[in-house]
Amino acid sequence: MQSLLMWHVLTHFCYIFNHKPCFSYKKLQRRRESSAHTMSNSDQTGNESEMYVMHEICSSVKNMKQLDFSVLVRRANQIKEELKQGVKKPYRELIDVSWGDPHRTGVKPLSFVRQVLAGCLYPQLLESNRLKVDVRQRAQRLLETCAGGSVGSYSDTAGLTQTLKKVSEFITRRDGGVPSHPDSIYISPGSQWSLTNILNILVNPEASPKTGVLVPAPSHCVTTQSILGLGAEVLPYYLTEEQGWALQVEELQRAFDSAKGVCKPFALYIINPGNPAGGVQSRKSMQEVIKFVSEKKLFLLADEVYQECVYGENVEFLSYKRVLAEMGPPLSETVELASFHSASKGLIGECGLRTGYVELVNLDPSVLKLLDNLFSTNSCAPVLGQLTLDLMINPPQPGDPSYPLFYEETQRIRTTLIQNVRQVFEVVNSLPGFSCQPVEGGVFAFPRVYIPPKAIQKAKEVGMEPDTFYCVRLLEETGVLARPGSEFGQKDGTHHIRFCIMTPQHIMEELLRRLSIFHTKFMKEFS
Amino acid sequence: MMSAQVIPTGSGCLPSLSFARLVNVTRFCISDIDPNTSECHLWFVSQVLAACLYPDLLKDDSLPVDVRQRARTLLDVCEGGSVGSYSLTYSGIPLIQKTIAEFITRRDGGVESKPENIIFSSGLERALSLVLHLLSGGEGQTRTGVLTPVPCPHTLPMQLDEAHLEQVSYQLLEEQGWALDLAELHRALRTTRGRCETRAIYISNPGNPTGHVQDRKTIEEVIRFAASESLVLLVEEVFQDSVLGQEKRFVSYRKVLLEMGEPYSKRVELVSLHSLCTAGMGECGLRGGYMEVINMDPAVREFINILPCSGSPPILPQLALGVMASPPSPGDSSYETFMQEVLHVERTLSHNARRACEFLNGLPRMSCVPAEAGIFLYPRLDLPLGITEQAQMLGVEPDVLFCQRFLEEEGVCVGPGCENGQDDDNFHIRSAKPTALICVLAPPAALEEVLTRLRSFHLRLLSSCC
């Protein structure tokens, strides 16, 4: 039986690499005709924009309107400048919790990781006793896996051979022995890049009806933008907030059915643990999803970058690969799955190094070959990032000289996270007009703001979404930068904000203090 | 379309090994050295990056004072003082944009470059891919075409394919040292009438893989051609810092364009691409590059800023680019060492280029145009009928067969010319000058090893066929 993807590939083969991109530019015929004329006359009459050979016209572009958030970012940058110049404000510094970026908020990088990477970049450091012996040994070992013993050399497209091997061993360990093979793994500069590549293969922008991808609502905007940008349709399935943002299969069915006459659903994107909704799926829920995708013949895209961030005693992260494998044949051999992970999240938090990987399950080998070609248009992922992956999946062990410090640093981050999660839950839920589901996983809180009608009216007047309006006021009055829920997709009539909870403890306390004061004031003003 | 004839690069199990080490000279690995030696590497960059990664190094005197100062300045512009944070804008860190713009202005004798026109990308291919996608459009006869040199960098045909662009080849003239010929450009463009809509021309200067350096006159001609035919200029200038010998000098397209004055300087749209993979830096694994856009439609420029699919750019390569654009100056503590290292690279490259070229020209049925710049040699093979027939039977290109057998028998991996778009009867192979950085002990000796193996293989091949 042909795999789904293979069928798709065969019927749309010519479009895989020849897709009509979203941002196409057309040359105005007038330009060519007029250029000879204007060149000789050195005369610059005419509309400025007609002069350009590259000129934006594609409709998909219009779909990708500038997000409200960039307005907030610009204002935040201005405020930073103003603060630097000593302009008086009710706060002395900004608290930027709009990204899932722990280092930005003040969480310190892990010493072991940074020491090894520094040693790899500048091997002279390995000659003295300045760095502990296990750091030096690890750096030596990693350098040996690089071509020419240097992080400056290219690696093979899919990644350094040794790193791929280590990643597959890690996956097998994590999944209780379910085997993983290096050949099905690709290391990429960040998980978004490989997600876009996979989507590139799945989506056929020429198709009529269009390709559809089911995505959760709320969902991280980069993913939805990528899908739209590739010329596909987004089919949102709403998570149930009152049940801790749980996924209901009936809702998946509804989303699937909504495609009739609009597009042909081809893939289901799921992010577990969630972003921005902080839920962690139970095994039962995951099995339902797997059965659903099998029945509807959908490709499963499982974004699992937050797998290390799980809180609460009864909560456990299970990978989709594991659950699938443990369901046994025929599902375990037929459901096509791509699972993503990265070093940007989790305790290591190295967003700026840009490294992640994708593991492909049950893909037809000829499709893998095509994917290989697609990945090789970008020589390889940054080598330093690949080495970071190795460090993430093989941390120091008890007995290693670096272990005590490593344990102390990671424990501190872990305890802080658990504390932050608890504090957010308590504080937000104690305020009227504000509620928050318990954050089981991920690095964000996504509380609901019950914005009063008067504020909604005001927001309309200034041409903003109500929660954007809330965030703008929050930024101006308290210096806290959070993201409005309207960016993520939410049920009509509901409003949310999202902020990162992976921050040092004192930052979280200060954040909650400012937020409480602001929120109470805001509610009063618009009551 | 898609070449399935990719030579295995690197590890792989070969049945019986008659050689001790596999040598890969298809890709550029200037850092291909034993980490315990410091030959042929610019350590200033590594030191700065190491300090940025692990700021504890700033606390003592183990690193030179200018390294520490530089690292501190760079860390200041990273969010949270860490290279692990996301970069705020898709175009890159503003300080780095400014540093690069200043570098370009200096290099071009004062012809000003604006920071907002600098867009960072993780590797030259990503930047190029972005622009190619922007240009792409149309179907059938209206499909966008790009004038592409033959030979061209081996990833280019794949990238054009991926962006649904038609490759319109213009042949570089081997007899004239791989020069660009205007008549050939016109001819190529004529062939596209009714076939596709050509909207851009790709230039590699100094040439990859040919090593040819274009003179100012040629550049002006190309610019005028682009202007009259309304083409966007895509100019890749990665080998700009490795011009060998004294006869030729690198001049950037943007400098010539802006010095030509109006109307060209205000109308012709130009994208120049550069990266960390220069002969000097050789930090290909870090994956860092930038493009400077000139006369681009502001709406398009703005669009690139909000483009989410490009993903957040990594920090470390941006910092590396910043260091590349602003190396130690006279008076800095690292200046002496740095200059020595730069000179060493130049001398080694120059020596190896000359030696290898002479050697190849000395082999029967092989000829090689001397490289004026860059790190590749692109010799031509006059393959005997036996080989071409055998290749046909096996269903591969003759130069691919040559390379495959060379790998099997001698353990040296070189690249076949067909991957550079060479599709005529003149078969070529492409090999990177290893600059003896492959072997630690005696740099030129490693090159000698490769050349020796090549000669023995080549002679064996010829004698078995003739």
**pLDDT tens digits, residue range B198-247?**
999 999 999 887 889 999 999 999 999 999 999 999 999 988 888 887 78
Tens digit of pLDDT for each residue in A282-324? Answer: 999 999 999 999 999 999 999 999 998 898 778 899 999 999 9
Selected residues 226-265 of chain B with any CB under 8 Å from a CB in chain A? 227-232, 262-263
ipTM, two decimals, is: 0.71
CB B371 within 8 A of CB B211: yes
Q: What is the pLDDT of residue B435?
A: 20
Q: What is the pLDDT of residue A230?
A: 79
Query: Which residues in chain B have Cβ-Cβ distances shorter than 8 Å to A148?
Result: 29, 31-33, 437-438
B422 pLDDT band, cuts 50/70/90, is low
Nearest to B380 by CA among B426, B421, B431: B426
B433 pLDDT band, cuts 50/70/90, is very low
The pLDDT of B155-173, averaged and rounded, is 88
Which of A88-92, A300-304, B83-87 is most confident?
A300-304
The residue in chain A having the minimum alpha-carbon distance to the alpha carbon of residue B2 is A373
Query: Between A211 and A34, where is the model more confident?
Result: A211
Tens digit of pLDDT for each residue in B249-293? Answer: 999 999 999 999 989 999 999 999 998 766 566 666 677 889 999
Q: What is the pLDDT of residue A358?
A: 92
CB A93 within 8 A of CB A480: no
From B88, B297, B317, residue closest to A382, measured CB to CB = B317
Instruction: Tell if the CB–CB gap between A377 and B162 is shorter than 8 Å.
Output: yes
Nearest to A440 by CA among A213, A221, A285: A285
What is the rounded distance in angstroms from the CA atom of residue B241 to the CA atom of residue A452? 63
Instruction: Tell if the CB–CB gap between A19 and B30 is shorter than 8 Å.
Output: no
> Hey, which residues does B348 pair with through a beta bridge?
none
Beta strands in A40-148 (DSSP E): 95-96
What is the rounded distance in angstroms from the CA atom of residue A182 to the CA atom of residue A169? 9
Tens digit of pLDDT for each residue in A144-158? Answer: 888 767 777 667 778
Q: What is the pLDDT of residue A36?
A: 35
pLDDT at A422 over 90: yes
Q: What is the pLDDT of residue A13?
A: 31
CB A359 within 8 A of CB A171: yes
Q: How many CB pairs under 8 A join A and B?
A: 288
Supply B94's token pair: 């503003």
Give DSSP secondary structure letters for B211-255.
-----HHHHHHHHHHHHHTT-EEEEE-GGGG-B-SSS-----HHH
Query: Between B271 and B143, where is the model more confident?
Result: B271
Q: What is the pLDDT of residue A64?
A: 47
User: B318 at the A interface (CB within 8 A)?
Assistant: no
> Hey, which residues does B462 pair with through a beta bridge?
none
CB B229 within 8 A of CB A39: no
What is the rounded distance in angstroms from the CA atom of residue A394 to the CA atom of residue A241? 36
3-class DSSP assignment, residue B326: coil
Query: Which residues in chain A have Cβ-Cβ distances shorter than 8 Å to B88?
Result: 73, 77
Task: Give the burial class of B204: count Cβ atoms within 10 A of its Cβ; 0-12 exposed, 13-18 middle, 19 or more buried.
Answer: buried
From B30, B79, B282, residue closest to A103, measured CB to CB = B79
From B144, B164, B306, residue closest to A19, measured CB to CB = B164
What is the rounded distance in angstroms from the CA atom of residue A179 to the CA atom of residue A181? 7
User: B27 at the A interface (CB within 8 A)?
Assistant: yes
CB A250 within 8 A of CB A272: no
User: B95 at the A interface (CB within 8 A)?
Assistant: no
DSSP A29: H
Q: What is the pLDDT of residue B283?
A: 65
A66 pLDDT band, cuts 50/70/90, is low
DSSP A203: -
Q: Look-up: residue for tokens 């398009």?
A: B300
CB B342 within 8 A of CB B39: no
Selected residues 171-230 of chain A with any CB under 8 Å from a CB in chain B? 189-190, 192-193, 196, 221-222, 225-226, 229-230
The residue in chain B having the minimum alpha-carbon distance to the alpha carbon of residue A40 is B263
The residue in chain A having the minimum alpha-carbon distance to the alpha carbon of residue B47 is A122
Q: What is the pLDDT of residue A129?
A: 85
Distance from the Cα of A287 to chain B's closest Cα (Å) equals: 31
User: B316 at the A interface (CB within 8 A)?
Assistant: yes
pLDDT at A1 over 70: no
> Hey, which residues does B179 pair with through a beta bridge?
B173
Query: Between A391 and A313, where is the model more confident?
Result: A391
- Long-range pairs of B57-64 with CB within 8 A, sequence gap ≥ 24: B57/A118, B57/A125, B62/A125, B62/A128, B62/A130, B64/B333, B64/B334
CB B422 within 8 A of CB B378: no
Selected residues 209-228 of chain B with any CB under 8 Å from a CB in chain A? 227-228
Q: What is the pLDDT of residue B66?
A: 93
The pLDDT of A358-372, averaged and rounded, is 86
Tens digit of pLDDT for each residue in B67-80? Answer: 999 999 999 888 77
Q: What is the pLDDT of residue A105?
A: 80
Query: Which residues in chain B have Cβ-Cβ distances shorter than 8 Å to A105?
Result: 80
Please report which residue ranges of A85-190 form alpha helices under DSSP H: 102-105, 111-121, 133-145, 161-174
DSSP B35: T
Instruction: Tell if the CB–CB gap between A109 and B297 is shorter than 8 Å.
Output: no
CB B431 within 8 A of CB B457: no
Least confident range of A32-36, A471-475, B171-175 = A32-36
Mean pLDDT of chain B: 79
pLDDT at B337 over 80: yes
Query: Between B98 and A193, where is the model more confident?
Result: B98
Q: What is the pLDDT of residue B410?
A: 79
Instruction: Tell if the CB–CB gap between A352 and B78 is shorter than 8 Å.
Output: yes
Query: Between A496 and A20, where is the model more confident?
Result: A496
pLDDT at A331 over 50: yes
3-class DSSP assignment, residue B271: strand
Supply B58's token pair: 């700033």
The residue in chain A having the minimum alpha-carbon distance to the alpha carbon of residue B12 is A161
Q: What is the pLDDT of residue B282?
A: 61
What is the rounded distance in angstroms from the CA atom of residue A289 to the CA atom of residue A280? 14
DSSP B466: -
Nearest to A249 by CA among A281, A201, A213: A281
The pLDDT of B161-187, averaged and rounded, is 90
What is the rounded distance in angstroms from the CA atom of residue B428 to the CA atom of residue B159? 22
Which of A334-338, B351-355, B418-422 is most confident?
A334-338
What is the rounded distance in angstroms from the CA atom of residue A498 to the CA atom of residue A66? 19
User: A1 at the B interface (CB within 8 A)?
Assistant: no
- B60 contact partners, CB below 8 Å, separation of at least 6: none
Distance from the Cα of A409 to chain B's closest Cα (Å) equals: 15
From B88, B197, B300, residue closest to A54, measured CB to CB = B300
Q: What is the pLDDT of residue B431?
A: 45
Beta strands in B108-196 (DSSP E): 118-121, 144-150, 166-171
From A42, A70, A118, residue closest to B262, measured CB to CB = A42
pLDDT at B439 over 50: no
CB B167 within 8 A of CB B145: yes
Nearest to A192 by CA among A238, A150, A224: A224
Instruction: Tell if the CB–CB gap between B34 and A149 is shorter than 8 Å.
Output: yes
- Long-range pairs of A137-146 with CB within 8 A, sequence gap ≥ 24: A138/A391, A142/A116, A142/A387, A142/A390, A143/B35, A146/A120, A146/A383, A146/A387, A146/B285
What is the rounded distance in angstroms from the CA atom of residue A95 to the CA atom of residue A87? 17
pLDDT at A502 over 50: yes
pLDDT at A454 over 90: yes
Q: What is the pLDDT of residue A26?
A: 29
In degrees rounded to 5, what are phi and psi of residue B160?
Answer: -65, -40
User: A67 at the B interface (CB within 8 A)?
Assistant: yes
